Amino acid sequence: MSDAGGAPPASGIQRGLRLEQLFAYAPLLGRGALVTIEVALLSLVVATVLGGMGAIAKLAGAMAPRAAAGVYTTIVRGVPDLVLILLIYFGGQRLVNDIGRGLGLDYVEVSKFWAGVAAIGFIYGAYLTETFRGAYLSVPRGQAEAAYALGLNRGQTLWLVTLPQLLRHALPGYGNVWMVLVKSTAVVSVIGLEDLVGLADKAGKSTREPFLFFVAVILVYLAITAVSGWALRRVDARVSRGIAA
């Protein structure tokens, strides 16, 4: 309801000002969202490589690789993500500069972006280790034996028989890890990386509207996970073609 002078209600003016502030910071938040997506995708690559190596180590017959992989997964699953990220960033910073001083080099600033990628990838590599290991064990041994009986060699059996089935078994767990990994990228803002959360926090403090900007962050993350869920369903339908429900 308008006041006596016909002006719009104060609450309407405030909402308009808040939206103007949000639109003014939209390019900045867009840049932060791009950084968040880059961190997530690159971390997934690192996690996939580490998960594959960890699964191979756990499935190996030798004791040393299995023990090393067991220590890796136990530590990661037992220590909070925030602690590991801080340890990797600040511990890595100190280690690099200790080595640099020994070589007579000047101070080196470790990239916050790559430290975040390494930390998130290291953490979720442990979870993908168990995902890939479980998927491999889900493939019946008789499949490989039948392939050998048909004359396929080890490489052909792996590529044509084992890997397609392993992918199908691993995909649900892989998708879940990706969803959680995307949300965990928010934690890298604590080391000063200007990702979506970090920039939204700064914008909220400068405008004194933290609620508004963190609601925008929520909507961006929901959009990312919604698109990811759609893509994962498409991939699952493709790799499951010809398989009974």
pLDDT digits over 110-122, tens only? 888 999 999 999 9
d(CA 188, CA 166) in angstroms, rounded, equals: 32
> Model confidence over 194-237: pLDDT tens digits?
889 988 888 888 888 888 888 889 999 999 999 999 999 998 88
Q: How far is CA 67 from CA 21, 64, 196, in A?
A: 54, 5, 38
- Compute the distance between CA of residue 5 and CA of residue 198 in angstroms, rounded to an integer: 42
The count of other CB atoms within 10 Å of the CB of residue 57 is: 20
Tokens of 234: 């498409």
- Exposure string of 154-192, with b = 16+ CB inside 10 Å and e = fewer, is eeebeeebbeebbebbbbebbbebbeebbebbbbbbebe
Digit-coded pLDDT (tens) for 70-80: 999 999 989 88
Distance of CA 4 to the CA centre of its chain: 55
How is residue 162 written in tokens?
């084992």
36 with 225: CB under 8 angstroms? no
Q: What is the DSSP letter of 160?
A: I
CATH architecture under which domain 21-186+193-239 falls: Orthogonal Bundle (1.10)
Q: Which residues contact 68 (CB under 8 A, 6 or more apart)?
A: 57
Domain locations along the chain: 21-186+193-239
Q: What is the DSSP letter of 188?
A: G
Contact 25, 203 (CB under 8 A): yes
Return per-residue pLDDT of the chain as tens, 245 residues.
Answer: 445 555 555 455 555 556 677 777 888 889 999 999 999 999 999 999 999 999 999 988 788 999 999 999 999 989 888 899 998 888 888 888 888 777 777 777 888 899 999 999 999 999 999 999 998 888 877 777 777 777 777 777 777 777 888 888 899 999 999 999 999 998 888 888 888 998 888 888 888 888 888 888 999 999 999 999 999 999 888 877 766 55
